[in-house]
Amino acid sequence: MLTGLVCTLPVTPAYAATTPAGWEAGALGLSSAQRLSQGEGVTVAVLDTGAVADHPALRGRVTTGPDYRKDGLDPQSPKWGVHGTAMASDVLKVAPKAKILSVRVLNDQDKEKINEGHLVQGGAGAIANGIYYAVDHGADVISMSLGSGAVGNYANEDDLAAVGYALSHGVPVLASAGNSGDKLNETSFPSGYAGVIAVAATDRSGARAAFSTVHTYNEVAAPGVDILSAKNTGGYKKVDGTSPAAALASGVVALMLSRNPNLTPAQTRAILTGTADHPQGGWNALVGYGQINATAAVKDAASPPADKTAPVKYQGKEHFATPVGTSKTTHPDMEQSLWLTGLGAAGVGLLLAVGGLLLVLGGRRKGNSGMAAMAPPSGPFGA
């Protein structure tokens, strides 16, 4: 695995203005990929905390959409666009001639509730509104370096419907897998939604980064450690997380779509997973189908596999909830008599267990009286 900077592409004005590339350039194979495409004609919607459009790495490439977070901050605030500016620059690092549509759906302070690069949702409906806006305003790719990632997390019907809207309009959706792999490893949305390409993070060795969430929804991986990214206040900083991994992956998709604008989301997914550097066995929950190979993906974009996805009639058994209108994502309240009965049974069981324990302890005390001076017993539980 190459870990150094091997990009030898002749410098163009667009590329020179982007964030300096690091080890991820060699890991993804950007040198050869950018000879084939640099993202011309492609718009990547970055749904995040906002992007500072006049940063040298972004200047002339960013269109700013609405602010669905609605927290009163503006682009002049140093608390505005910290994460989003970094992610936009990572997209352009891969696809320097692409355009960025920045839609603010998060507040940078939200991430403090979880960890760096793994953000919670902003206001109710912010992400769904951002997706709809992006699709309706020319986005070719949607990049979401964010996630809900809380214990007891659940799917959001509005967000899921918005993802479906994007896919049905031919717009691939990518999201970061989550940064809780070294903690509670919580399920994260939107990466967990069907149709979303979930991106895990790798380290310099090409293996899963220690923080990257391990889950069956992981499809591909990209570098996510020490990724030099633009700062909203100017300059650059190194960022860790599945956030930069998703942004870099979105840049690769921009390269693919620039080479073949007719790629469908299904074809995009098939090419990314088919050309990735597969782990042993072809797939695992750590890195999905493996780290993205940008050069192979861009080459295959020119002659993609046939898209055989289409609506089909369900041929299985009738589901008990159809057609009575019961929601597929919520559950009815449990009858009070049932849970009270269960609670009572649990209480009785707990009392019996405590009583048995007290009897055992009482017997041990009687048996041990007057024996304190004896040596401890031999065997596996002895001294």
Q: Is 48 a catalytic residue?
A: yes
- Residues 6+ away with beta carbon under 8 Å from 380: none
- Partnered with residue 100 across adjacent β-strands are 44, 62
CA 283 centroid distance within chain: 17
Q: Of 144, 154, 204, whose CA–CA distance to 178 is shortest?
A: 144
Q: Is 243 a catalytic residue?
A: yes
Q: Of 54, 56, 109, whose CA–CA distance to 79 is shortest?
A: 109
Choosing from 102, 145, 243, 258, which is the catalytic residue?
A: 243
CA 138 centroid distance within chain: 23
Q: Give the burial class of 170: count Cβ atoms within 10 A of its Cβ; 0-12 exposed, 13-18 middle, 19 or more buried.
A: middle
Q: Provide the token pair at 150.
A: 């809380």
Q: How many CB atoms lie within 10 A of CB 272?
A: 30
Choosing from 55, 83, 118, 215, which is the catalytic residue?
A: 83
- Residues 6+ away with beta carbon under 8 Å from 205: 1
Rounded Cα distance, 349 and 334, in Å:
22
Kind and range of the H or E run holding 361: helix 336-368
CA-based end-to-end distance of the chain: 51
Q: Of 40, 169, 188, whose CA–CA distance to 119 is shortest?
A: 188
- Residues 6+ away with beta carbon under 8 Å from 81: 49, 50, 51, 52, 75, 104, 108, 232
- Token pair 């950007």 is at which residue? 30
Choosing from 37, 48, 55, 176, which is the catalytic residue?
A: 48
Q: Is 83 a catalytic residue?
A: yes
- Partnered with residue 218 across adjacent β-strands are 198
Q: Of 211, 207, 9, whose CA–CA distance to 94 is shortest?
A: 9
- Residues with catalytic function: 48, 83, 243
